[in-house]
């Protein structure tokens, strides 16, 4: 079964929410169109929720919390095991949904979007085996207890990946959840709700309400019975959620925007790492908050880097996401496509050197939100393309004269989500990585590590996801003095 829209239509789940263990009709009649960004055609219509739907979902989660929070870790792990197995069993259906709803190439959806999402269920399941929910410090017991009802607000760019990155550790911690996925890429979220149902998730432990940020998102953030909010999105959206949550003094975990640097040290293997740097910046068509979109290179190597970057982009195949050979599909929605075009025009008007790409669609593509993979060089760090998150396939190459200057440029941003450093001398490479003000630094293209905590400094947010630290976001700390005689 690979047609997710047909399946969801037949099951009548496009027009329903998953609340308290069953699929229910929404309170209101508002609907939203789901558009395939590769064709610009409407492919489905989903229901949008309101405050009444949020109230039902939060009430269900609150009722379920008492029993779910008391489950032993092995019971919670058993549910996560069933969820993990079902995601892998339905991997092709998820991949096709992600291709349709956000224009991701089917090969990339199969190789990255879905399997990496499954890892965010497996890891908290495995971590439950030895997580220190109770520890001793002298005669005091330190207990880690689930915080309560967690509202999870997820974005459109990694739709399934970001859902599992929150749902997995939240359930492992003993929380109950209400998920609000992006209304722009909701198909994989509805399929995930089916997985939760099929896995035998107890009623109220997992709830899904589709809707807009200003309506459903704000209602969740401000709800007095919601104990914490975890949001992945833009810095603007994170600020709005924090403001809505402030009157009830709930915890807010934010994974927000980024403008990550990629420092090529003078002794790096440029022939290898420039291409990898370009690929990292433009993976998922540049729609990743941690994408290393500022490549910092020694000034005397600038021409060489331009040639290598151009060569790397020329190897891309931009086009129909359904084709196996496509490496880069469409921008996920019209608004973001227009944003990318505006920023490319800004780079040209500011005087950056256009190495490859530029405004408009690639040759031969007359429809769809396809952008030309674009590389700018001779960029100064005060240009808009060096400071603002573009969220598209746009790379800025900035020259530096000393390693100290490279570090200064790398940290000269309001963001601090990720960074990359390449170099042959590992002592110096590690020393440079240690100076970067970012929550996660990649040294010489390491493999994905789902146990490595991920999150930001500065305006890139607060809190962490993945690994033990990701589960700790959903836990309170209780000290019981005199617990041990």
Could you give the residue numbers annotated as active site? 255, 289
Q: Cα dist. 30→10, 44, 212 in Å? A: 20, 14, 11
- Virtual torsion, Cα 301, 302, 303, 309, nearest 10 deg: 110
Q: CA nearest 256: which of 362, 365, 162?
A: 162
Length reported for the chain: 485
- How far, in Å, CA of 274 to CA of 279, rounded? 9
Q: How far apart are CA 231 and CA 252, in angstroms?
A: 8
CA of residue 398 relative to chain centroid, distance: 26
Alpha carbon distance 276, 278 (integer Å): 5
CB 385 within 8 A of CB 396: yes
CA dist 157 and 160 (Å) reads 9
Residue 53 has phi, psi (to 5 degrees) of -65, -40
Strand-pairing partners, residue 296, are 263, 398
Bridge partners of 177? Answer: 150, 206
CA distance 148 to 57: 14
Q: Are strands 251-255 and 294-298 parallel, antiparallel or unpaired?
A: unpaired
């Amino acid at each position: 079964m690979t047609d997710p829209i047909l399946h969801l239509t037949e099951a009548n789940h496009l027009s329903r929410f998953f609340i308290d263990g069953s699929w229910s009709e929404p309170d209101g009649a508002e609907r939203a169109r789901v558009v395939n960004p590769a064709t610009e055609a409407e492919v489905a219509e989903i229901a949008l929720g309101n405050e009444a739907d949020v109230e039902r979902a939060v009430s269900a989660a609150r009722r379920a919390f008492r029993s779910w929070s008391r489950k032993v870790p092995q019971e919670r792990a058993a549910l996560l095991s069933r969820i993990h197995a079902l995601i892998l069993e339905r991997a092709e259906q998820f991949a096709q949904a992600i291709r349709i709803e956000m224009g991701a190439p089917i090969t990339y959806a199969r190789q990255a979007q879905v399997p990496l999402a499954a890892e965010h269920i497996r890891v908290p399941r495995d971590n439950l085996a030895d997580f220190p929910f109770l520890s001793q410090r002298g005669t005091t017991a330190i207990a880690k207890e689930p915080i309560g009802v967690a509202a999870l607000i997820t974005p459109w760019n990694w739709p399934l990946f970001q859902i599992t990155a929150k749902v997995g550790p939240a359930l492992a911690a003993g929380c109950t959840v209400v998920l609000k996925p992006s209304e722009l890429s909701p198909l994989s979220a509805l399929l995930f709700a089916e997985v939760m149902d099929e896995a035998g998730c107890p009623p109220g432990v997992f709830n899904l309400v589709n809707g807009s940020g200003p309506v459903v998102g704000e209602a969740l953030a401000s709800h007095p019975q919601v104990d914490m909010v975890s949001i992945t999105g833009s810095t603007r959206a994170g600020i709005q959620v924090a403001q809505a949550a402030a009157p009830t003094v709930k915890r807010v975990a934010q994974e927000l925007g980024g403008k990550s640097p990629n420092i090529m040290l003078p002794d790096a293997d440029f022939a290898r790492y420039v291409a990898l740097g370009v690929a990292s910046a433009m993976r998922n068509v540049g729609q990743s908050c941690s994408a290393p979109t500022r490549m910092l290179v020694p000034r005397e190597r600038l021409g060489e880097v331009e040639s290598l970057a151009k060569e790397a982009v020329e190897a891309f195949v931009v086009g129909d996401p359904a084709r196996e050979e496509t490496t880069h599909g469409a921008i996920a929605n019209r608004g973001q496509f227009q944003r990318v075009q505006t920023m490319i025009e800004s780079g040209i008007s500011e005087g950056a050197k256009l190495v490859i790409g530029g405004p408009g669609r690639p040759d031969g593509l007359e429809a769809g939100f396809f952008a030309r993979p674009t590389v700018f060089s001779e960029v100064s760090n005060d240009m808009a393309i060096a400071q603002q998150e573009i969220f598209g396939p746009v790379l800025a190459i900035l020259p530096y004269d000393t390693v100290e200057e490279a570090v200064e440029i790398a940290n000269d941003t309001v963001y601090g989500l990720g960074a990359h450093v390449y170099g042959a001398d590992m002592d110096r490479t590690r020393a440079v990585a240690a100076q970067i003000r970012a929550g996660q630094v990649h040294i010489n293209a390491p493999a994905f590590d789902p146990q490595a905590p991920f999150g930001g400094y500065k305006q890139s947010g607060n809190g962490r996801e993945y690994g033990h630290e990701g589960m700790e976001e959903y836990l309170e700390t209780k000290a019981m003095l005199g617990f041990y005689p």
